[in-house]
Structures are given as C-alpha cells and as structure tokens.
Amino acid sequence: MSYVSVTKNQHIPQYCGSCWAMAAASAVSDRLRLMTKGAWPTAELSPQMIVNCASNAHGCHGGSMTSGYELMHTRGAVDEGCMRYEAKDNECTDINICRDCGHDYPCHAVQNYTKYYVEEYGSVSGEENMMKEIYARGPITCGIAVPDEVSVLSSHHKQLLAYTGGIFRDRTGTQELEHAISVAGWGEEDGVKYWIV
C-alpha cells in the first residue's frame, strides 16, 4: 500500500508555472492518505482548482505555496475528479471549480461536491524542524533553487531537468528559490544526507 500521491508534470498539456499549486496539492493529498491509512477512496487534490482560485497568486505565471494553503484553509480544495489539470489560467467560476461533461449535453458546473480543508498552515525552517514536521504530520512543501542556465555550470541545470534517480547534488551554490516541491522524507547514503522530493 502506498501513501504517496501520483507524480505529475506541471507542463502537460502545455507550459504552466504552477509548481506552487502542484506542491501544495501533492503534500496535502499525501497527508490525507496518511490520515486515512490509504483507505479507499483516496483524494487526489486538484492543482488546477488551486491555480484557478488562489488569491495572491498568478496562476500559470507563478505563485506562493502559502496561497494554495490559504485557499484550502478558507475555501477548501476539490478532488482531481472534479477539476482535471489543464495547465492554463481560468477564472474562478463554478464551472472552473467542479465540472462534468455529458455525451449529449455541454459541460456544466457541478453543485454538490466534496471540499477538503486544511485546519492550519504555517512554515518551518531548518533541517531538524523540517524533519520533525514531516515525521509528525507528513510531507511539506519547500522552495528550491534551480541553477540558472546562463551560469558557468549551465549543463548542471540540464542535469536537474533530466533527473532520473539517485542523489542529485547541486554544486553551484545558487540560493534563489525558483521552484516548489513536496518533500516526503529524508535519508543518508555513504555519509551524504538527502531529501526525498
């Protein structure tokens, strides 16, 4: 039995800078699985609904994970079955929160659907506090630096984009946060500490 939600690509079916919504939806989906011990039905929260409706965010043009959590705290989020990922900006209207489409009738807003809320949200800082939070409640979201392609080590950036496994080591020293991820755990191999993201 797995408590981990499905891995998704924020750029399918087209480019969309929605990592902030993807990370928040993923971390909370995983926490829901942990809380229910993986019981069916599992909830896979909709990053598209978060992109559509989070305030203080810019949809596919970036946003803050905090905006995703704020939405889940105040308004609630829906399951992916209610709003599939489209990788585009939509207005936060009823049909862009939860919809259904019929064979003989057009797509329409669904009025009766389940909402998922977070009771509280905040931030932690530092390796030990991150580990404590993950251990106590499950995955967290985190901002990471991505080395700039125009840097001297531009091939390093391509390595991150082409990551296929193992421990990824960033040796550039880049610290500007440019991407959001969900952190599910940690480990150590041959004296090298790592995060499972």
DSSP conformation letters of 105-128: S--EE-SS---B--S------SHH
Question: What tens digit of pLDDT does each residue of 132-150 get?
Answer: 999 999 999 999 887 655 4
The pLDDT value recorded for residue 174 is 78
Q: Which residues lie closer than 8 Å to 129 by C-beta, 6 or more apart?
A: none
Query: Residues in the chain with pLDDT < 50?
Result: 150-154, 156-157
Give the distance between the most distant pair of CA atoms in the chain. 61
The pLDDT value recorded for residue 154 is 47
Q: How far apart are the first and last CA of the chain?
A: 19
Kindly tell me the burial class for residue 186, based on how many C-beta atoms sit within 10 Å of its own C-beta (0-12, 13-18, 19 or more). Answer: middle
Q: In this structure, what token pair is assigned to residue 13?
A: 């079916």
* CB of 89 closer than 8 Å to CB of 44: no
Q: What is the DSSP string of 129-178?
A: HHHHHHHHH--EEEEEE---TTSTTHHHHHHHHT--SS-----S----EE
- Determine the 3-state secondary structure of 193 from DSSP: strand
Identify the helix (H) or strand (E) that includes residue 25.
helix 19-35
The pLDDT value recorded for residue 5 is 81
The pLDDT value recorded for residue 159 is 61
Task: Return d(Cα 12, Cα 54) in angstroms, integer.
Answer: 20
The pLDDT value recorded for residue 166 is 86
DSSP bridge pairs for 193: 188
pTM of the model: 0.89
Three-class SS of 50-90: HHHHCCCCCCCECCCHHHHHHHHHHCCECECCCCCCCCCCC
